[in-house]
Amino acid sequence: MPRHFETDELSSVRDLVRWGASRFREAGLHFGHGTDNALDEAFFLTLHALHLPTDIPALYLESTVTASERTAVLKLLRARVTTRKPAAYLIGEIEFAGMPFHVDERVLIPRSPIGELILADFQPWLQGQPERVLDLCTGSGCIGIACAAQFPYAQVDLADISEGALAVSRKNIKRHGLEDRVRAIKSDVFDGLGDATYDLIVTNPPYVTTAEWNTLATEYRHEPRLALEAGHDGMDIVARILEGAVAHLRPGGLLICEVGAFVEEFEVRWPQLPVTWLDFERGGDGVFLISREDLVSHL
């Protein structure tokens, strides 16, 4: 039986979610951009296509969908299979630290555990409210914009080498009405920032080794290579951040940097650095913190 006759049998929201999950598993999709399994991904996409919130009471999952709604849901579910694009690129949006961000293929899809630190005001590490914050390697701007929302008196700079990423970050600055306190600056690591100094530098730079990048699932290949890959040990950009951070941190300032699964590569390069590896309640690891003073005395 041709597949479109089969899909005519799908009548409820629940039917569509179940059908999508089956097709996703059948196709061997990879999940690593907001969900970690086929059912959650199908649920998220189905509810999005139906313009429904994901916290909808379970009762409504039994509702019958109209023919045009079914067509819209199936189009999105099929696109996930045929393009292998992460769901966030298909719908153009993702939530980070409780805020919605526009995303497209010019930027990495936000997923850093740093979001949890922002919502906790970087406690117990940060003393008081920061006046100036730098989100280095900003991509969509998610980290810096979430910092600006969390610290209402802070001036925040978003820096990235990619014009495409800066265009997306500017769209997100505008979306959240933060034009008066947040600016996006083109900069190759610190090179475009002049002598600006900050109380807090937060960064999720590219840190994937070239060998690892070559093995990544198709979903990650839709993300900019520039956002992920950083040389044979993944530490090309991290090295430049460590070198330049002292000149851009104020006394007492902090550098918070993500290296994800590449902690070992970091520790091989900088065994002497007294970094603190941070813990996360909601998952994630590979984020370190170091003070300006410790950078000065150990680099």
Ligand X SMILES: C[S@@+](CC[C@H](N)C(=O)[O-])C[C@H]1O[C@@H](n2cnc3c(N)ncnc32)[C@H](O)[C@@H]1O
Other C-beta atoms closer than 10 Å to the C-beta of 61 total 17
Nearest distance from residue 176's CB to ligand X, in Å? 15
Q: Please, which residue, 130 or 141, has the CB nearer to ligand X?
A: 141
Q: Please, which residue, 172 or 291, has the CB nearer to ligand X?
A: 172
Q: Please, which residue, 73 or 159, has the CB nearer to ligand X?
A: 159
What are 182's strand-pairing partners? 156
237 binds ligand X (CB under 6 A): yes
99 binds ligand X (CB under 6 A): no
Q: Please, which residue, 16 or 137, has the CB nearer to ligand X?
A: 137
What are 134's strand-pairing partners? 157, 201
Nearest distance from residue 236's CB to ligand X, in Å? 8
Q: Report the distance separating Cα 170 and Cα 141, nearest Å.
A: 8
Whether 159 contacts 204, CB under 8 Å: no
- For tokens 């969390």, what's the residue? 150
One residue of 206, 234, 284, 286 binding ligand X per CB under 6 A: 206
162 binds ligand X (CB under 6 A): yes
One residue of 20, 86, 130, 205 binding ligand X per CB under 6 A: 205
Whether 294 contacts 273, CB under 8 Å: yes
Q: Report the distance separating Cα 280 and Cα 5, nearest Å.
A: 47
CB neighbour list of residue 38: distance below 8 Å, 6 or more residues apart = 20, 21, 22, 24, 25, 29, 31
Nearest distance from residue 264's CB to ligand X, in Å? 19
143 binds ligand X (CB under 6 A): yes
> DSSP letters of 104-162?
-TTSPPP--THHHHHHTTTTTTS-S--SEEEEES-TTSHHHHHHHHHSTT-EEEEEES-
227 binds ligand X (CB under 6 A): yes
199 binds ligand X (CB under 6 A): no
One residue of 10, 97, 154, 165 binding ligand X per CB under 6 A: 165
Q: Write the single-letter amino acid at 234.
A: G
Q: Please, which residue, 206 or 253, has the CB nearer to ligand X?
A: 206
C-beta nearest to ligand X: residue: 139
Q: Output the six-digit token pair for 211.
A: 């060998």
160 binds ligand X (CB under 6 A): yes
Whether 134 contacts 193, CB under 8 Å: yes
208 binds ligand X (CB under 6 A): no
Per rule CB under 6 A, count of chain residues that contact ligand X: 23
188 binds ligand X (CB under 6 A): yes
- Positions touching ligand X (CB under 6 A) are 107-108, 110, 112, 137-140, 142-143, 160-162, 165, 187-189, 204-206, 226-227, 237
